[in-house]
Amino acid sequence: MRIMGLDFGAKTVGVAISDPLLVTAQGIEIIRRKDENKLRQTLARIEELILAYQVEEIVLGLPKNMNDTLGARVELTNEFKEKLERRTGLPVHMWDERLTTVAADKAMMEAGIRRENRKEYVDKIAAVFILQGYLDLRSRKKQEEVSDWKK
């Protein structure tokens, strides 16, 4: 089993995939769209990746505002979530993506990637941060369940 992480943006979708043990997230690609309103090819590519990697769940970044309110981008993301669920039949979990792009940019700066090259990778790395956060939470919950069971 694997889980897919997605960073849904206006023109791109960053994609990450978990390892089979659900411990780590790896960025695999950025799906680029010519038109923000055209999702057919994007959804088709996501389906291809789901089959190739045997994905059973999807984690989609939820672009909340920094003050915890929901902006216009959230509505588009929720519509994308519904399309993903209908088309793939897989559960789609929402994950607060605040600061993932900032964290991705910082990680690339620390890695020495030049500013002009960062834009090319930021969505894929943001997808990794989204998925890794979800995987870490899932792991902590399982550890708590085991601790509770042992008591």
82 close to 91: Cβ distance less than 8 angstroms: no
Q: Could you tell me whether strands 55-62 and 12-18 are parallel, antiparallel, or unpaired per DSSP bridges?
A: unpaired
pTM, full prediction = 0.84
| Measured distance CA(132)–CA(127) in Å, rounded | 8
- Please give the average pLDDT of every successive group of 10 residues along the chain, which has 151 residues: 94 95 95 84 96 97 75 87 96 84 68 69 84 90 70 57
pLDDT digits (tens, 9 = 90+) for 31-62: 998 877 789 999 999 999 999 999 999 999 99
What is residue 105's predicted lDDT score, i.e. its pLDDT?
Answer: 65
Domains, the chain, ordered by start: 2-150 (3.30.420.140)
Q: Is 71 helix (H, G, I), strand (E, B) or coil?
A: coil
What is residue 150's predicted lDDT score, i.e. its pLDDT?
Answer: 60
| Measured distance CA(31)–CA(8) in Å, rounded | 10
> How far is residue 34 from each of residues 11, 70, 106, 148, measured CA to CA in Å?
7, 26, 27, 50
